[in-house]
């Protein structure tokens, strides 16, 4: 009976250790953007050619492993809300073809790219009643 209890305790310890490891992994790999209508990951490379859409961003990010960038699409103009949520500073903006592109830096985000001499790690684009946000940039089409 003692051997059984010892084996059961060891098995429980292994299961709890694995659960903690999975929990820690999930904690550090949660999606950057919340409440989006659509979600995209740039997997392995910072380009639109490796862009993968996901209906479940939490599960999608866990499955992909290494993610080079994330993008989300929202209904409505969410520029000010996202800027405030990430404590971001506007670096510069561009307007073309009905799209306003805002390039920002947030101390809450990692992995910046350099554009016009600035470290950019948050890109927000607004067109009509739709907002796209990406880190470090929006990859794919908007």
**Structure tokens that stand for 72 in this block:** 């989300």
Residues whose CB is less than 8 angstroms from the CB of residue 69 and which lie 6 or more positions away in sequence, other chains included = 41, 42, 46, 111, 134, 135, 136, 137, 139
Q: Is the pLDDT of residue 49 over 80?
A: no
Predicted confidence at residue 11, as pLDDT, reads: 63
pTM summary value: 0.71
Q: Which residue has the higher pLDDT, 83 or 44?
A: 83
HSE toward the beta carbon, residue 60, CA cutoff 13 A: 19
Residues whose CB is less than 8 angstroms from the CB of residue 30 and which lie 6 or more positions away in sequence, other chains included = 58, 61
How confident is residue 35, by pLDDT bands cut at 50, 70 and 90? confident
**Structure tokens that stand for 45 in this block:** 């490379």
How confident is residue 139, by pLDDT bands cut at 50, 70 and 90? confident
Q: Is the pLDDT of residue 55 over 70?
A: no
Q: Are 79 and 95 in contact (CB under 8 A)?
A: no
Q: What is the pLDDT of residues 57-115, one digit of tens each?
A: 554 555 555 666 888 999 999 999 999 999 999 999 999 999 999 999 999 998 899 99
Q: Are 61 and 54 in contact (CB under 8 A)?
A: yes
Query: Residue ranges per domain, the chain?
Result: 1-30, 32-135
Q: What is the pLDDT of residues 6-23, one digit of tens each?
A: 776 666 667 666 554 444
């Amino acid at each position: 009976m003692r051997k059984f209890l010892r084996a059961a305790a060891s098995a429980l310890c292994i299961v709890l250790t694995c659960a903690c490891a999975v929990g820690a992994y999930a904690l550090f790999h949660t999606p950057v953007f919340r409440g989006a209508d659509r979600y995209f990951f740039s997997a392995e490379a910072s380009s639109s050619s490796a862009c993968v859409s996901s209906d479940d961003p939490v599960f999608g990010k866990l499955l992909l492993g290494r993610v080079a960038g994330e993008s989300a699409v929202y209904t409505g103009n969410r520029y000010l809300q996202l800027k405030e949520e990430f404590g971001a500073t506007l670096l510069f903006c561009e307007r073309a073809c009905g799209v306003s592109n805002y390039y920002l830096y947030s101390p809450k985000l990692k992995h910046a790219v350099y554009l016009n001499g600035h470290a950019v790690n948050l890109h927000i684009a607004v067109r009509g009643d739709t907002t796209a946000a990406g880190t470090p940039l929006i990859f794919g089409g908007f």
